[in-house]
Amino acid sequence: MCGIFCFISKTNSISFGESFFKQCQHLLNNRGPDHAGTVTFDSRVLMCGTVLWQQGSDITLQPVESDRFVLLFNGDLFIERGDLSISDTQWLLGKVTSEVANLNDLADVFKQLKGPFSLILLDKYSRKVYFARDSLGRNSLLLGQSNEGFIITSVTGNTPMAFVEIPPNGIYHIDLNSDVNGINLLSWKQPENSDISSLTVEQQFLDLSWMAKDRLHNYFNYHQVLSSQSLAEDETYDYLLNNTTISSLCDQLLKILAESVHERISNTPNHCKQCVSSKASCTHPRVGVLFSGGIDCTIVALLADRFVPPDVPICLLNVAFEKIIRPGNPKFRKNGSEASAEIDWDVPDRLTGRSTWKELQQLRPSREWHFVEINVTRKELQNYKDRISDLVFPLKSVLDESLGAALWFASRGEGLVENSEYKSTCRVMLIGSGADELFGGYSRHRVAFYRAITSKSAQPSEDEIRAGFSHLMVELDLDWNRLPSRNLARDDRIIGDHGVTPRTPYLQEDFISVVQSLKAEQRCYHPLGEGIGDKLTLRLCGYKLGLRMSAKLRKRALQFGSRIADRKQNANDSSNFLSS
């Protein structure tokens, strides 16, 4: 995880960029606490990088520079390459230097990349500045424009200057030789509506090789498998896993997901946050899991156990907020917190998290699991609202507020372990992003399915079932297409503020390819009810791993499970908290 910043002047002076950089430098330093560096070019370009050392045998200072190129890179590249002693940044600069002569060559290099990234690349020969995010938009990159020039940065803070999250549609570039100062795009997918003005589409639909879907040879349909059976709830999973096609699919998914977890754990130095500067050997926790106790995060935690050294604990980061008390309630105080000294921290996610933690202890008794109870009062939340607002910007909705705050406190990692004060030393946090979108975990997916069920009979007709799955497939596709613009970049800004790298095993290209090849009726089956039918295939994967309890827990959104959010608010409304 790094912080990257670039100012491209329209006036042959970088003074505005230097001034703006100073305003957001503290946020960039938080993302990259191990080093900061600057390169200028021709009184037109200012490039600044801050580094969080996560790759290679030694830290790579940024920006990195060759005779022709200057590179700022933030991300993780999970691709096969020979020398793992060098960082992704060094490897990419070498590849660009040796293989790139023009924009199409650069596109060919980018098509080979797998993993989350954002980058800025200056070509000193052609006098062009390129910038891009990976096609899923997993890492943050913001763009702002003023009369003085363009600013491209990982994070900016809450500023009057207008910024947008750069759509992850392809390779953007600005030509320093041009008087127009427009932004050009070489697109690798159909551009969606964008807030970026002066955007010229040079070419569309560059192929992404990993998007070729790996189709399964054996088709199955949960409705066909289950419709003729009358099963008790506790018999359903065993019955389905006796089907060789379903069982084989689960094995395939678990194999790829395990590889994803492995590469997200192994590609980082073996030092915790407090020992990294001295490179001291330690057994402090280095990997944490954002942990509600649900099936998504529990599968990730169980797979992480395979790859974290056995003498190193794994942190399960569980966050709870003081409940909102409204006027008229006897417990109400002016600050909205409880009048009594005792706060009930047993929010829904705390209860499920604690229960599932015990299940992990039973399945992997030799592992030391640190269940970190992170308790946040409304007063503490108020104290940090400006900082969280700076990180969420340019987003401002109630949902962004709620999830941003929950992730910020969770990744900070300050709480209780076995009733003793504890501060997490983790430098990597695994999160379950993407699982709900891929496997049909949201309530709107259930609503979409039942939209086609119009009869009042207990048993819908076959035509209604087919129509229900058709509606569901449309909703799944819509959710997936919205994913890059919804929350991934925000989460990257929030978690990176603590010098922690967020890593998302479900958003691995090979895993996505296989799941996206499945039809809706092969991912979930809502007639089985909540806690079983939603994300059914993923729940079966967890059941195969031995997760008997968490495989049947109902989905609960983080903002409600942690009690950060007020259900009476509209998630899409502009947040007074973030705007004030």
Instruction: Give the chain's mean pLDDT.
Output: 87
- Output the pLDDT for position 331: 59
For residue range 519-567, what is the model confidence (pLDDT) as tens digits?
999 999 999 999 999 999 999 999 999 999 999 988 777 777 677 866 5
Phi, psi (rounded to 5 degrees) for 547: -85, 95
Please state the rounded mean pLDDT for residues 433-455: 91
pLDDT of 157 > 60? The answer is yes
pTM for this model (two decimals): 0.90
Percent residues over pLDDT 70 in the chain:
88
Please state the rounded mean pLDDT for residues 417-438: 95
For residue range 317-334, what is the model confidence (pLDDT) as tens digits?
999 999 876 555 565 555
User: Tokens for 211?
Assistant: 């998007």
For residue range 501-514, what is the model confidence (pLDDT) as tens digits?
999 999 999 999 99
Q: Which domains does the chain have, with CATH numbers?
A: 2-210 (3.60.20.10), 236-433+487-579 (3.40.50.620)
Under a CB-based contact definition with an 8 Å cutoff, are residues 342 and 377 in contact? no
Under a CB-based contact definition with an 8 Å cutoff, are residues 356 and 298 in contact? yes
User: Tokens for 10?
Assistant: 């329209």
For residue range 264-306, what is the model confidence (pLDDT) as tens digits?
998 777 888 888 878 888 899 999 999 999 999 999 999 999 9
- Output the pLDDT for position 476: 95
- Output the pLDDT for position 361: 98
Per-residue confidence at 385, pLDDT binned at 50, 70, 90?
very high
Q: How many CA atoms lie within 13 A of 372 on its CB side?
A: 27
For residue range 19-33, what is the model confidence (pLDDT) as tens digits?
999 999 999 999 989
- Scan for tokens 């603590």, then name that residue: 498
In 250-386, where do the E strands start and end? 287-290, 314-321, 369-376
287-290, strands of its sheet edge to edge? 420-423, 414-417, 369-376, 314-321, 287-290, 428-430, 501-503
- Output the pLDDT for position 201: 40
Percent residues over pLDDT 90 in the chain:
66
Enumerate the active-site residues.
Answer: 2
Q: Give the residue with greater pLDDT, 182 vs 20.
A: 20
- Output the pLDDT for position 349: 92
Per-residue confidence at 308, pLDDT binned at 50, 70, 90?
very high
Determine if the peptide bond prior to 116 is cis (ω within 30°): no
Amino acid of residue 82: G
pLDDT of 40 > 90? The answer is yes
Please state the rounded mean pLDDT for residues 418-424: 96
